[in-house]
Structure 1
């Protein structure tokens, strides 16, 4: 079959230069491998094995594919159809990204140009050999076969044929093959920009065909799925099976927003009929019987070509803005990763410059974190775990507060029981009398030259040393928590400013050793702060101690007076009258404090008061000293200097090379990122160039439309190079194209809102054609005045 002698009529609509640029732009991105990074708009053909997928492709394209019942698609096939003056068929292979570099190079070199369509089946076998597919070995491949067909009778269409889904393993198709094919089909289906062409064979019950369940799982609402019923001629006319499939075609059973379509396939077993004969036989079949009751737009190959072209064009047009946004986002991330890698570091000088650069960024972020200024992107969300860990000032402040609360609750060796105070968790709670008894014993064993009823000042030192003994453990635990928080913070920071290949070396050889040194400095400062409390004698000139001592005594007096009042007065009557039987002398005597005749008890009680008063003063001082002199002075304030440019400039060459020298992995990572960024940048520029062209074109058309008040203006058929009603008609805009798609009476599924449901809502006042099919005003005009869609036959 010569390329110059096409055998079937092809769609000659929707063939403007604008559309060709649009479709070619997307195909170009796919050929560059962009689909590995972002989902591209496409039509994918899916179905169970032997469902008739290859026959559908053959009917759409006019190219003969292997359709024998004992063969099946062994790899994804991208079929690109383009209308052009010259006919050609070009075949290439796009290697899967998981291939080795050698395999990628070999497969990418596969290029074939065919002279006749009869060579396609032979070419398929060559492709299998190139991909390493054999019936006894590797049965399927993830590589993509790309077939580009140009000719004057071709539609503007790109579709991807996927391997048929297998129900059970046999000697030619293993369980592993089944899993591989299912994985490939699921991957293509789950891409939100893919329109799923679900091919169902009428030879089998559609409820048992795998493709339907997978399509429903990938597209639960059926917004982007078009069902294709093949082999309807195998059904017995008037049978229940035929009625069931006709009901399916009416979208009454399995509902898809894009609807259903029916095709009659050629016989796969040696049917010699040409494609033209196939189309004639199909037309004859659908013109009679129960199938003739369906709309013509749902029957046969010619309406399907129209339908697919419109669906693909609409899908690309509506997804392009989101596609550009996604590409821009991934390109920005890629650039950030490259920035972290820095320039190639082949010499010690390059390596030192790299370390100095990231140390500058390190210091900037440390200073911001220590100052509590969290407006940089590094700090992220405060409500996330990582975001909080990066806010080192907030973490330290909270840990200091927790330490103060812990010391207040559990810092005393013996805690005096009190209804106003939460009991300690260390289980050493004593009543005042129990504590006085312990002090009396200590007084007996430490007696000096003091008179009875007095106590030696050294007693307070001994008592305080014992009472503050838990401080060391609580403070050490607090220091370890702050140190651990600082290490987490610095780990996040180094991961942010350095590339993945140097993070570990920087942490191991720079950050951790110096942070450990800071920890030792904090520990030494802690020991210094604990020394006066553990080894010295009480010293304070703070009047708070006197105030506390007086407060303690006042509280005991108030408690005793309350007891006396409750005993002498009728406090329950609300009048506070003196109870009968008490004289004024008795009342006076009751309020007079009787002397403590036990001098040791009195001395012990006084010593306990002094201990309690001094403990509170010393505790407050210790909390502040630890926070200011140890945590802040020896750790937090020193974080910025852990990784400084000055230290890097003085670092020996051997250390610089050990830390920042590039590994093979690092060089490969940079090369991959650079290739990815080039690809994404090219893709973004391609999309932007096309989108900007459309916006400008639309603006010009708006000015043209606004300049005309002729109501017949809307009925002009825009045909390139022709004049109508005295107007020189430019090519139609993409808005015209989409409105024609929406208004087309050829496709009922489009008329009933199938496409509008997947179009983003139009912002009032926004006239960009990407954001909607037509305005409300346009729709009202269509309802009030029926008009044919524009003629796209140029």
Structure 2
């Protein structure tokens, strides 16, 4: 064996080792895949190339891929790996590969993957999906850019309608990695041989690797069980006749095909070898990354506790800046800037409460009727206390409902953001557990806020009280403004355009009259408006500071950690699909590590 042959064989052996490791599903390997109809002569072709006899049982020949590894050696040696898995029958299409290793002095250095022959109908005992199953297995090979396709085409069948050529047109439309192998030329009708000459010339479909023609063993040859050597001699005699001898000798016969396939595979391996090394390392890196994301197994309480604590810390450290408004510490969308959103909601809440004490709202109150119905023992001219209390209560009656709606909006915002953090930052194994925990956290906080809001609202409704000078100042200003408005609209002038003393008297006298009901109602309105504005400002500040901030956000970190860290450990588990995926990745990683060592 020459140095070049030795080097080529070493490269091919490394590729075969990767295939033995079961990495074909993860690493695209250079290979020659043999495809064809079930009766295309694939088995005879493989017998010619490998010099061994393959089973002719129809069911066995259509259920799995067969890898034939041929290497040059001083003596003949053959080895086959067991194929069938437990519970598998010969009529079932399986994805396992039967590997046959052959070595001897006359073997080419070639590895072929013989794919199940395409079938068009289902035989008795075969699964209903066998036609599609075989197509699926074949396409996993021929779709790869690193696969040279050996398309076996019987000469006695129509070329254009052959299913193999249809698959080539789909997966290798430019014909860059396909070689056509014409079989059974001896079965053609006399006078139609020119059709094969047209195919071989590329007039039907041009293939970059060209076409090759062989003569399969005839029925009589098979019955006589003649050797491969004798069959090759008969093949040579056949191609020495017209019109077959017009075909270049390099494109006919199994002997030249062996040499051609060996050269094609050498070139492919040499071209792809560097990329395979890189692909193995990249796959290993991605495998490790995914395993890091999945995290360690959760088969002990210690592992569950460690995962719980680590994710709790990550959760708190992420949500806290969003609450405190330190957004530059994170890269999060604006809709999850909690502090900014809370500020906006508080402003809406404030405007809504203040709207309930606007002048427009007081115009709808039946102040005169309430004064008549609720008057106490006050002397005429005094502000009546009981009607005042009743009217204040009527004015602020909607505050509790508005407040709880505000709490609901804040809690939805907080929950949505915390849920987003869980899904974005934390282990998927804790998603369900943390979702339940943060839902409980928000529920408890909202319940406490409702309770505090009820207490505050009862206090506001119990008895109007304030020590804020804003009330007296507002009432004084309102009365002054009211008088000014009356003066500007009621002042009378004489025929000379001058204000008269009588007009001044007409304006002032109602204010000093203790029996004027109209002005009593107006003064009550001013008093209620001044008090309710004062109470509203107090209520808004207290709600935002002593309820929302105190209950939701004060010591958020400590309360969140307490709830999350106390999640039951039995709830800290992962979905079955995650554990199965980790197991699969660990298996693949070991194979990839072994592959790295081989390269």
TM-score between both structures, scaled by the size of structure 1 = 0.57
Question: Do the aligned partners of 1:193 and 1:315 also contact (CA within 8 Å) in 2?
Answer: no
State the SS of the aligned residue for 1:34: coil
How far does the alpha carbon of each residue in 1:8-45 deviate from its partner, in whole angstroms, 9 at most, with x for none?
Answer: xxxx8895333333222221222222334444333222
C-alpha distance in structure 1 between counterparts of 2:469 and 2:16, whole Å? 82
Q: Is the counterpart of residue 355 in structure 1 residue 304 in structure 2?
A: yes
Q: Which runs of 5+ in 1 are unaligned?
A: 1-11, 104-130, 346-350, 374-380, 417-431, 562-582, 587-593, 649-654, 691-794
Q: What does residue range 8-407 of structure 1 map to in structure 2 within 5 Å?
A: 15-66=4-55, 72-94=61-83, 99=85, 132-133=89-90, 138=91, 140-171=93-124, 173=126, 175-191=128-144, 193-219=146-172, 224-235=177-188, 239=192, 242-243=194-195, 246-254=197-205, 258-271=208-221, 274-276=227-229, 278-279=231-232, 298-301=251-254, 302-303=256-257, 304-314=260-270, 316-317=272-273, 319-333=275-289, 335-336=291-292, 339-341=295-297, 345=299, 351-372=300-321, 394=336, 396-397=338-339, 400=342, 403-404=345-346, 407=349
CA 1:292/1:492 → structure 2, altered by over 3 Å: closer, same or farther? Answer: same
Q: What does residue range 643-662 of structure 1 map to in structure 2 within 5 Å?
A: 643-644=564-565, 658=570
C-alpha distance in structure 1 between counterparts of 2:170 and 2:563, whole Å? 53
C-alpha distance in structure 2 between counterparts of 1:400 and 1:21, whole Å? 69
1:579 counterpart residue number: none
CA 1:282/1:514 → structure 2, altered by over 3 Å: closer, same or farther? Answer: same
C-alpha distance in structure 2 between counterparts of 1:63 and 1:155, whole Å? 14
Question: Do the aligned partners of 1:51 and 1:201 also contact (CA within 8 Å) in 2?
Answer: yes
State the SS of the aligned residue for 1:165: coil
Question: Do the aligned partners of 2:71 and 2:108 also contact (CA within 8 Å) in 1?
Answer: yes
CA 1:141/1:480 → structure 2, altered by over 3 Å: closer, same or farther? Answer: closer
Q: Is the counterpart of residue 679 in structure 1 residue 586 in structure 2?
A: no
Question: Do the aligned partners of 2:403 and 2:453 also contact (CA within 8 Å) in 1?
Answer: no
Query: Per-residue deviation at 1:78?
Result: 0.7
Match of 1:482 among 410, 414, 435: 414
State the SS of the aligned residue for 2:151: strand
How far does the alpha carbon of each residue in 1:206-231 deviate from its partner, in whole angstroms, 9 at most, with x for none?
Answer: 33333333444445665544443333
C-alpha distance in structure 1 between counterparts of 2:173 and 2:547, whole Å? 61
C-alpha distance in structure 2 between counterparts of 1:547 and 1:293, whole Å? 116
CA 1:226/1:634 → structure 2, altered by over 3 Å: closer, same or farther? Answer: farther
2:363 counterpart residue number: 436
C-alpha distance in structure 1 between counterparts of 2:596 and 2:83, whole Å? 21
* Count of aligned pairs: 551
Q: Is the counterpart of residue 638 in structure 1 residue 580 in structure 2?
A: no
Query: Per-residue deviation at 1:352?
Result: 3.8
C-alpha distance in structure 2 between counterparts of 1:306 and 1:217, whole Å? 26
CA 1:81/1:25 → structure 2, altered by over 3 Å: closer, same or farther? Answer: same
How far does the alpha carbon of each residue in 1:503-529 deviate from its partner, in whole angstroms, 9 at most, with x for none?
Answer: 59x92xx98468626632442144324
Match of 1:629 among 509, 526, 550: 550
Query: Per-residue deviation at 1:394?
Result: 2.9
Q: Is the counterpart of residue 604 in structure 1 residue 542 in structure 2?
A: no
Query: Per-residue deviation at 1:616?
Result: 5.9
State the SS of the aligned residue for 2:99: strand
How far does the alpha carbon of each residue in 1:101-141 deviate from its partner, in whole angstroms, 9 at most, with x for none?
Answer: xx6xxxxxxxxxxxxxxxxxxxxxxxxxxx632xxxx3544
Question: Do the aligned partners of 1:43 and 1:158 also contact (CA within 8 Å) in 2?
Answer: yes
CA 1:355/1:171 → structure 2, altered by over 3 Å: closer, same or farther? Answer: closer
Question: Do the aligned partners of 2:470 and 2:534 also contact (CA within 8 Å) in 1?
Answer: no
Q: Is the counterpart of residue 473 in structure 1 residue 423 in structure 2?
A: no
Question: Do the aligned partners of 2:32 and 2:113 also contact (CA within 8 Å) in 1?
Answer: yes
How far does the alpha carbon of each residue in 1:693-750 deviate from its partner, in whole angstroms, 9 at most, with x for none?
Answer: xxxxxxxxxxxxxxxxxxxxxxxxxxxxxxxxxxxxxxxxxxxxxxxxxxxxxxxxxx
How far does the alpha carbon of each residue in 1:530-571 deviate from its partner, in whole angstroms, 9 at most, with x for none?
Answer: 5324532576969899899999x99xx99xx9xxxxxxxxxx
C-alpha distance in structure 1 between counterparts of 2:466 and 2:186, whole Å? 106
Question: Do the aligned partners of 2:407 and 2:446 also contact (CA within 8 Å) in 1?
Answer: no
Question: Do the aligned partners of 1:525 and 1:629 also contact (CA within 8 Å) in 2?
Answer: no
Query: Per-residue deviation at 1:484?
Result: 5.7
Question: Do the aligned partners of 1:41 and 1:315 also contact (CA within 8 Å) in 2?
Answer: no
C-alpha distance in structure 1 between counterparts of 2:123 and 2:471, whole Å? 91
C-alpha distance in structure 2 between counterparts of 1:663 and 1:469, whole Å? 42
Question: Do the aligned partners of 1:77 and 1:160 also contact (CA within 8 Å) in 2?
Answer: yes
C-alpha distance in structure 1 between counterparts of 2:31 and 2:414, whole Å? 54
Task: Let me know the Cα RMSD of the aligned residues.
Answer: 5.0
C-alpha distance in structure 2 between counterparts of 1:441 and 1:616, whole Å? 27
Question: Do the aligned partners of 1:443 and 1:604 also contact (CA within 8 Å) in 2?
Answer: no
Query: Per-residue deviation at 1:471?
Result: 1.8
State the SS of the aligned residue for 2:315: helix
Question: Do the aligned partners of 2:319 and 2:421 also contact (CA within 8 Å) in 1?
Answer: no
Question: Do the aligned partners of 1:335 and 1:677 also contact (CA within 8 Å) in 2?
Answer: no
Question: Do the aligned partners of 2:280 and 2:592 also contact (CA within 8 Å) in 1?
Answer: no
State the SS of the aligned residue for 2:398: helix
CA 1:478/1:539 → structure 2, altered by over 3 Å: closer, same or farther? Answer: farther
CA 1:13/1:235 → structure 2, altered by over 3 Å: closer, same or farther? Answer: farther
**In terms of mean alpha carbon deviation, does 331-340 or 291-300 score higher?**
291-300
State the SS of the aligned residue for 1:198: strand
CA 1:361/1:585 → structure 2, altered by over 3 Å: closer, same or farther? Answer: farther
CA 1:511/1:172 → structure 2, altered by over 3 Å: closer, same or farther? Answer: closer
**In terms of mean alpha carbon deviation, does 35-44 or 281-290 score higher?**
281-290
CA 1:454/1:26 → structure 2, altered by over 3 Å: closer, same or farther? Answer: farther
